[in-house]
Structure 1
Amino acid sequence: MGKIPKPQLHGLSVRRAKLWILSSLINGVLGALAFQLFYINPKKKLFRDFYENYDIEKEFETMMNKGLFDSC
């Protein structure tokens, strides 16, 4: 039988804090990247596609014919 190793008591909290900070930074960057790729970019594409074919004059005429404007 060998000796039982001594537990590490000195610097344990510092080492664990560095590990947690590093993992939280990595998770934050990955979360931001996922948000950009899966939410922001598709939303930008939807807006771009909508405004490519949007005719403001036609929309104005449609709303005016429905009687939505009191001053026109």
Structure 2
Amino acid sequence: MSAPVLAKPQLRGLLAKCLQFYIITAFILSLGCATMYNFGVAEPRKKAYQNFYRRYGAVKDFEEMNQAGVFQYGKP
């Protein structure tokens, strides 16, 4: 009986092959994280700002703060 022949190890291009796999994987994962951040954080934040400023009245807010005594005119 003869011993099984072992496959030769890959010596040339091993780093390039591994880097190609890791670069593609990193690109796909970063794209996925950016997409999740966009739909999970950025879009709800934009909608919250739009809803706030849709109902916000600057003049009304100023009058309420003025009546509450928040502003001090000419007082040191």
TM-score by length of 2: 0.86
Is the counterpart of residue 18 in structure 1 residue 20 in structure 2? yes
The total of aligned residue pairs comes to 72
Letter of the 2:25 partner, please give it: S
**Aligned Cα root-mean-square deviation (Å):** 1.5
- Counterpart of 1:64 (choices 49, 56, 66) is 66
Aligned with 1:5 (options 4, 7, 11): 7
- CA–CA distance in structure 2, aligned partners of residues 47 and 2 of structure 1: 69
Aligned residues: percent identity? 29
Structure showing greater Rg: 2
What is the match of residue 46 of structure 1? 48
Q: For residues 71 and 11 of structure 1, what CA distance do their matches in structure 2 show?
A: 75
* Structure-2 separation of matches of 1:4 and 1:41: 56
AA of the residue aligned to 1:21: I
Residue type at the aligned position of 1:2: P
